[in-house]
Amino acid sequence: MLEQGAYGDRVGRHFRQENPPTIVVKMPPKTALAVTRLRGEAGLPEPSKPLPREKAYLIVLHLRDLPFHQIWLDGKQIPVGPHPQGAVSVLDLERQVSVLFPGPFDCLQFYVPRSALDAIADEHGAERIQGLTWPLGNIDPVALQLALPIVPVLDGPGCTNRLFVNHVTQALAAHFAHRYGGMVLTDGESNKGLAPWQLRRVNEYLEANIEAEVSVARLASECRLSRSHFAHAFKQSTGQPPHRWLLSLRVSKAKNLMLESDIPLADVALACGFADQSHFTRVFSSSTGVSPGNWRRVRKA
């Protein structure tokens, strides 16, 4: 997989490590989480090169005691005390980050892009958070216990299944969002429906693309929700699944066209997104109880 963020070999080069063990977990829509294990008995003889700036966080979980190290943010050294096993450092990659480990170190680095945090919020129907903060070097026992099962996977990728790895990694990301970002996670299914702006956006998008094939995934993306959350919330708001709602919009547009013009029914069907006149007739008759031709004749008589 082509690396696009501060994980794997891309982050390993900054710590003089080649091909460090890495797990990448894809998340919809088009984002990913990653965890990289970095360790060395000799430490680093000089500060690491600054990591490229990006909209992401590195959450560093120390697997062994670290009596001394140094961190620079935007070229300024910040105070750092001893880090025991289980200590966590949250590094915002929109700032220039450089570190020095003069002695032995062993840590897991969780790469969490802001897009992944947004995806977690959308999945749970939560407000999107501004960022992640954590007192530098404080122990997080929950993160440590969740992360420990990942260590043998990194050491030997064939020792467990991918589903387990994905579950644990996403559980850690949700924990980071809640504990470090204050995100209030709820069960997406408990949401009563779409927000007014979301329903308005769906209608605008459907009306603008009424003649096209529109996927649920695309509508969910417009609402910044997961596909499953969107489908449930949409039905709660409208009483219909998205495809039925689209058909009702197409029927409504067809009525307007038939009243305002004399174009053939076959052309009305195509203009409103129906496959052909036969499809148009079936859907229209099911919705209104009469065929399009009869409906038009009665109203234009």
> What is the C-alpha to C-alpha distance for residues 291 and 282, in angstroms, rounded to an integer?
8
The verdict on residue 203 lying in a domain is yes
The C-alpha atoms of residue 113 and residue 90 are separated, in whole angstroms, by 12
End-to-end CA distance of the chain: 65
Higher pLDDT, 187 or 265: 265
Q: Is residue 56 part of a domain?
A: yes
Residue 64 lies in a domain: yes
Same domain, 16 and 102: yes
Residues 52 and 130 in one domain: yes
Domain total in the chain:
3
Q: How confident is the model at residue 282 (pLDDT cuts 50, 70, 90)?
A: very high
The pLDDT of residue 230 is 86
In this prediction, residue 252 carries a pLDDT of 93
Per-residue pLDDT for 85 more than 80?
A: yes
Position with higher pLDDT, 157 vs 9:
9
Give me the pLDDT at residue 158, please.
56
> Does the pTM exceed 0.75?
no
> CA-CA distance, 286 to 298, in Å (whole number)?
18
Please check whether residues 163 and 17 belong to one and the same domain.
Answer: yes
How far apart are alpha carbons 211 and 140 in whole angstroms? 53
Domain-ending residue, one of 157, 179, 201: 179
Structural domain containing residue 213: 188-239
Instruction: Determine whether 274 is exposed, middle or buried from the number of CB atoms within 10 Å of its CB (0-12, 13-18, 19+).
Output: buried
CATH number assigned to the domain comprising residue 25: 2.60.120.10
What pLDDT score does 112 carry? Answer: 96
pLDDT tens sequence across 158-204: 555 577 788 889 899 999 999 999 987 665 444 568 888 888 889 99
Whether the bond between 157 and the residue before it is cis, its omega within 30 degrees of 0, is no
